[in-house]
Each structure stands twice: as C-alpha cells, then as structure tokens.
Amino acid sequence: MNSAYGLYIHVPFCRHKCIYCDFYSTTHLADIPRYLNAVMQEWESFCLNPPSGGFAISSLYWGGGTPSLLTPRQVQRVLDRIHQHGTVPADAEITLEANPGALDDAHLAAYRRAGINRLSLGVQSFIDHELEFLTRIHNTADVRRSFSAARRAGFDNISLDLIFALPRQTVAEWKHSLLQAIDLAPEHISMYGLTIEKGTPLHDGLTRGARVSCDEEVQREMYLLGKEMLEAAGYTQYEISNFARPGREARHNQHYWAGGPYLGLGPAAHSFAEGRRWWNVRDVQTYCRALENGEKAAGGEEILSRDQLRAEAILLGLRRRRGIDLAAWERTFAETPRALFSAALESLGGCEQQAPPFQDAPSGRLLTCAAGHLALTAHGILLYDYVCRKLYECL
C-alpha cells in the first residue's frame, strides 16, 4: 500500500539575513537556477528508488528561506516535474511561504495558476519599528498590499505568521498586531514567541548586553492574550502556536505532528520515514555539486531508537489539541500508556477525565484524558516543557 508522504522543498535564498534567523539561507540569488535543477534531480532520484510499498504525496510545502523569490515559471517547472514522476492528488494542499517584502503582486495570480493553493505570509508584526528591529525587509504597508493582492489573485487559504516577545515590546503593541491580523480575516494565524538562537546577531547583541530579552511573565501574558483574542475571533487553537478557521488547519503540518513520513528536498532539508531521519548538507554549492555528480547530498542520518520515537510521540502529541492518541500508542508501541505514565500523572496532580483540551480545567490540572486522548489543558500549555519532561521520565 502507498504511504502518504508530506513533501517539503527548502528554498534557501533571502534578499537579506534577518538578525534573529537561524534557518539555513543565503543571499546569493544567482544560484537559484542551479539550485532548482538540483532539486528536480533530487526528486527524480527519490522516485527512481521509491520506498518499498510505494508512496504518494499528501501535501507539498515550499518553505525557506524565501520561496516567493522564485518566479511563477520556476515554481511551475518544479511542480510539473513533481507531477510527472509522483502521485499528487488534485486536492493536495500546496503551500508557498511568502515574504511581504519579496512578493511581486503580478506573480500572485500566476502562482495560483501554477497550483499553489495556500499562502503563508511571514508578517511577524503590524508595527513598523518592530519590523525594523527584526531587520525584516517589509513594512506594514507591504503586508496590507500583498494580502489584498493575494485575495484578488484568488487565494482563499492564507496564513499569517506573527512573532511576540520582542525585546522591549509592550503588551499593548502585541495587542495592536493581533487586532490588525484579525481585521484582515485570514484563514489561519500562527503566533510564535521570539526565540534567541545562538550564533545569530540578535543573540550576540544580548550576550554583549546591548539588548534585553522580554520578561518571562510578560511573554506568558502575551501568549494568553493571543490565545484569548484569536479564539474570541473564531479561530480554533489546534496546536500550541497555531489557530485556524474550521477546516483550515494546515494539513502539511498536521501530518508532520502526527508522525507521518515526509521527504525534504533542498539544502538542509530533513526527511523522516519508518523510524529513520536523514538530512541534506547545509550548503547550496555542496548540495548542487553532489546532485550534478549523480550523488546524494546527504548531510547525515539517524535511526531513532524506540525511546526516541516514544519521546517524539510525546513532544509532538502534546503540542496538538487532539493530544496523544492512547489507542494508537498501544498499537504502535505494544504497551498501555495509562499504566506507563501512571507515576507521571500522579506527580502532575492527576488527569481530568472530561475537560476539553487546551481549555481551563476548573481543578487547575495540567492534563485531560477526554475521548481516549491525553492532552494539555490551558494550564498545561504554559508548562509544556515540564509536562513533557515528567512523561519522558516514565520511558
């Protein structure tokens, strides 16, 4: 039987490197044509040696980097090649990440015609001085212009990314960005706390004392405000950082969180199937050279142990509203999760039997077991790392 794979294409090009970013990308845009040929080569090699039992693509995601730096013709060429060698259902979700500062309005209708049916706009903030602080190349006028242009081009499934917990950001500023995002009425909104990654200019600034990070208590307040406002506006929180109108949850990400297999094409892209994770080299030139020589662009691989797989099932399961499917756990790992986790559940103060996930439980408990799934309550979300650690201790 065919396995359903999520397909991820990493587009490692940006016009400029943002101070907080640790994704692999380069500003050497002249390499794009060579890179695209290598991506198609990598796809064909995968199709020539398919996984035993075959495969079909359930969703496709162009991430980056800045995929909207590609012209519609370039996107079309790769999609044609994907369709030529693989099976992609007509209704598959095909997302393109777009930067409002690198989104040619004239390109949008052509992307739509090429088969892109979902746009993920990296908005981050609706305040210009915050965008400047993040060294983004766009401003708030670009966001509004590109959002309207995307609607006119026929995109009826648009996601906006927002970042909170910027240094010196106030709760009022965060509320302003949320209100503006809600006002545009996208189908999906993601909100992420700013993470300070080692090796980024932002991290260096913090360690030199030139900047201050956002206070933890304020971060928590911002998160809760975002959750409350988005839910009040009719978005359902289906993952810790993700909110969607009914039926507009990101299918690609859900597949990934459910532990489904995925194939990543492009430099630094990761893949996972049947307990094995492998990834490509983190360098465009080395990646292209390998593919041009008919070799793999492998950067490394690992076979996940049973304990690692169980830890990932906890980590990914608890991020989702539906939580950890206890029956699926039993089938996959041949053990009863309630018995396995009993010590952790006890030390965490027990588990609600019926409280809805991601909502306040009157008892203040962190976990709920409604409908055969172990999930976080609203209190539990705020202690996600702690709850995961407690469950790991039982493995």
Closest CA to 10 of 200, 199, 193, 283: 283
Binders of ligand SF4 in range 76-115 (CB under 6 A): 99
Which residue has its beta carbon closest to ligand SF4? 21
Asked if 65 touches ligand SF4 (CB under 6 A), the answer is yes
- If you ran DSSP here, which 8-state letter would residue 393 be given? T
Query: Smallest gap, in angstroms, from Cβ of residue 116 to ligand SF4?
Result: 18
Distances (CA, A) of 27 to 30, 71, 89: 9, 16, 34
Measured from the CB atom, the residue of 137 and 340 that comes closer to ligand SF4 is 137
Measured from the CB atom, the residue of 132 and 295 that comes closer to ligand SF4 is 132
Q: How far apart are CA 109 and CA 103, in angstroms?
A: 12
Among 5, 25, 196, 249, binds ligand SF4 (CB under 6 A): 25
Segment lying near ligand SF4 (by CB under 6 A), choices 13-21, 74-82, 242-250, 358-366: 13-21
Asked if 17 touches ligand SF4 (CB under 6 A), the answer is yes
Asked if 66 touches ligand SF4 (CB under 6 A), the answer is yes
Measured from the CB atom, the residue of 96 and 374 that comes closer to ligand SF4 is 96
Tokens coding 140: 């708030």
Among 7, 9, 18, 38, binds ligand SF4 (CB under 6 A): 18
Asked if 64 touches ligand SF4 (CB under 6 A), the answer is yes
Asked if 202 touches ligand SF4 (CB under 6 A), the answer is no
Size of interface with ligand SF4, in residues (CB under 6 A): 11
User: Coil, helix or strand for 279?
Assistant: strand
For residue 266, whether the previous peptide bond is cis, meaning omega lies within 30 degrees of 0, is no
Asked if 281 touches ligand SF4 (CB under 6 A), the answer is no
Distances (CA, A) of 2 to 5, 52, 86, 252: 9, 9, 11, 17
Query: Smallest gap, in angstroms, from Cβ of residue 22 to ligand SF4?
Result: 8
Asked if 282 touches ligand SF4 (CB under 6 A), the answer is no
Asked if 196 touches ligand SF4 (CB under 6 A), the answer is no
Query: Smallest gap, in angstroms, from Cβ of residue 282 to ligand SF4?
Result: 13
Query: Smallest gap, in angstroms, from Cβ of residue 381 to ligand SF4?
Result: 25
Asked if 23 touches ligand SF4 (CB under 6 A), the answer is yes
Measured from the CB atom, the residue of 15 and 389 that comes closer to ligand SF4 is 15
CB atoms within 10 A of CB 343: 13
Q: Which residues lie closer than 8 Å to 53 by C-beta, 6 or more apart?
A: 1, 2, 3
Asked if 192 touches ligand SF4 (CB under 6 A), the answer is no
Q: How far apart are CA 222 and CA 173, in angstroms?
A: 10
Say if residues 122 and 146 touch (Cβ distance below 8 Å): no
- If you ran DSSP here, which 8-state letter would residue 160 be given? E
Q: What are phi and psi of 171, to 5 degrees?
A: -65, -35
Say if residues 160 and 184 touch (Cβ distance below 8 Å): yes
Give the total residue count for the chain.
Answer: 395
Measured from the CB atom, the residue of 58 and 120 that comes closer to ligand SF4 is 120
Asked if 266 touches ligand SF4 (CB under 6 A), the answer is no
Given the DSSP bridges, would you call strands 188-193 and 242-244 parallel, antiparallel or unpaired?
antiparallel
Where does this chain bind ligand SF4 (CB under 6 A)?
Answer: 14, 17-18, 21, 23, 25, 64-66, 99, 122
